[in-house]
């Protein structure tokens, strides 16, 4: 099933080919900034029998060397027939455009990345007629962005990195750093990258973590049902009910406990009671911010 997470994992390359830097570096090619890159049709359907569609296809014309195609596939899990589909995509694109094809698989967890590297072989007995070996972009070769200034300089890479590492135990801290880095953006840039990331995290465990962090930089971004839009509409609504405020406090407390759990920080029952019984949003927000970098649960309550 095609999801927003799947779509974001490959569509970002169409608008921001600089995210391909790890691929170019690994293959010893001139960086994307020195190449002409254009998106081609992803349709790989012949006549009518069966519709086939590559996630993203880019044509690369390097400043040095010959042109080639990059076929990008976002893969969230192992799929039985994916190897044969990928082999078909490579053969079809090579025949249609008469250019060599580099197949790139984007994976967000190590087991899937290990499987996606192949090779996927078509063989009879000991003889291999065709072998497909994707280049995998995953947790092992997509760098973790740990510097706020890096977010400002390379927002596309920072966003892509956060999506790829969304299953990491450090994902909450990575997202917290990303939110702090995005506060340096102007309004339009902030809402653009915040939405990319929120949509990209839609089916991941840390999406709600990001929605809390997004409030650092949230403004109105219509049409997608994201936090930007909700924040705007809530701000325009007259008279927020007391029950709604209580609901926000409960959601914030749940987010704090969720971050602690994902980061492996134990929270005794008396601490959980203290967090869930708090109704002051400013205090809960402070505790949430501290939960992203805390090493023990006591760090949440340390006096400034």
pLDDT tens per residue, range 259-302? 787 777 888 898 889 998 998 888 888 888 788 777 888 888 88
pLDDT per residue over 199-245, tens digit each? 888 778 888 888 888 776 654 334 445 555 555 445 545 444 555 66
CB 123 within 8 A of CB 129: yes
What per-residue confidence (pLDDT) applies to 70? 92
Final residue in a domain of this structure, among 137, 169, 189: 137
| Proportion of the chain above pLDDT 90, given as a percent | 24
- Average confidence (pLDDT) over 13-25: 84
Among residues 69, 135, 133, the alpha carbon closest in space to that of 99 is found at: 69
Is the peptide bond between 119 and the residue preceding it cis, with omega within 30 degrees of 0? yes
| Proportion of the chain above pLDDT 70, given as a percent | 83
Among residues 253, 177, 244, 171, the alpha carbon closest in space to that of 204 is found at: 171
State whether 119 and 224 are in the same domain: no
On average, the pLDDT of the chain sits at 81
Provide the domain count of the chain.
2
What per-residue confidence (pLDDT) applies to 126? 87
State whether 46 and 159 are in the same domain: no
State whether 119 and 156 are in the same domain: no
The CA angle 196-202-204, to the nearest 5 degrees, is: 120
Query: In this structure, are strands 101-107 and 68-75 parallel, antiparallel, or unpaired?
Result: parallel
φ/ψ of residue 124, rounded to 5 = -125, 115
State whether 128 and 167 are in the same domain: no
Domain that holds residue 263: 148-301
Q: Is the pTM of this model over 0.85?
A: no
- Average confidence (pLDDT) over 171-195: 84
Distance CA 202, CA 197 (A): 9
State whether 159 and 275 are in the same domain: yes
Domain membership flag for residue 143: no
Distance CA 141, CA 21 (A): 11
Q: Name the one residue in this structure whose structure tokens are 């997004």.
A: 214
State whether 230 and 125 are in the same domain: no
Domain membership flag for residue 217: yes
- Average confidence (pLDDT) over 94-114: 93
Among residues 221, 190, 185, 196, the alpha carbon closest in space to that of 14 is found at: 196
pLDDT per residue over 112-166, tens digit each? 999 999 999 998 888 999 999 999 999 999 999 888 888 888 888 999 999 999 8
Q: Per DSSP, what are the bridge partners of residue 56? A: 72
Distance CA 60, CA 171 (A): 32
Task: Say whether pLDDT at 72 is over 90.
Answer: yes
Kindly state the helix (H) or strand (E) to which residue 50 belongs, with its residue range.
none
């Amino acid at each position: 099933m095609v999801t927003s997470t799947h779509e974001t994992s490959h569509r970002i390359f169409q608008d921001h080919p600089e995210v391909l830097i790890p691929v170019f570096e690994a293959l010893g090619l001139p960086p994307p900034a020195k190449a002409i890159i254009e998106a081609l049709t992803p349709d790989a359907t012949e006549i009518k029998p069966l519709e086939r569609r590559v996630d993203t296809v880019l044509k690369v014309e390097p400043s040095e060397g010959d042109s080639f195609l990059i076929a990008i596939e976002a893969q969230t899990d192992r799929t039985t027939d994916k190897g044969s589909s990928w082999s078909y995509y490579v053969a079809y694109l090579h025949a249609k455009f008469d250019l060599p094809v580099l197949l790139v698989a984007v994976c967000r967890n190590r087991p899937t990345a290990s499987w996606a590297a192949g090779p996927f072989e078509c063989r009879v007995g000991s003889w291999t007629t065709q072998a497909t070996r994707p280049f995998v972009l995953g947790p092992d070769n997509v760098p973790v962005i740990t510097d706020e200034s890096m977010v400002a300089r390379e927002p596309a890479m920072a966003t892509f990195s956060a999506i790829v590492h969304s299953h990491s135990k450090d994902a909450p801290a990575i997202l917290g750093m990303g939110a702090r880095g995005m506060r340096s953006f102007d309004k339009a840039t902030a809402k653009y990258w915040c939405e990319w990331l929120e949509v990209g995290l839609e089916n991941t465990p840390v999406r709600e973590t990001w929605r809390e962090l997004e409030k650092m930089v949230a403004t109105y971004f219509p049409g997608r049902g994201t936090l930007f839009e909700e924040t705007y509409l809530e701000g325009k609504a007259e008279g927020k009910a007391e029950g709604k405020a209580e609901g926000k406090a409960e959601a914030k407390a749940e987010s704090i406990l969720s971050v602690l759990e994902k980061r492996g920080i134990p929270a005794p029952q008396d601490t959980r009671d203290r967090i869930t019984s708090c109704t002051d949003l400013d205090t809960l927000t402070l505790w949430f911010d501290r939960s992203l970098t805390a090493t023990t649960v006591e760090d949440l309550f340390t006096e400034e």
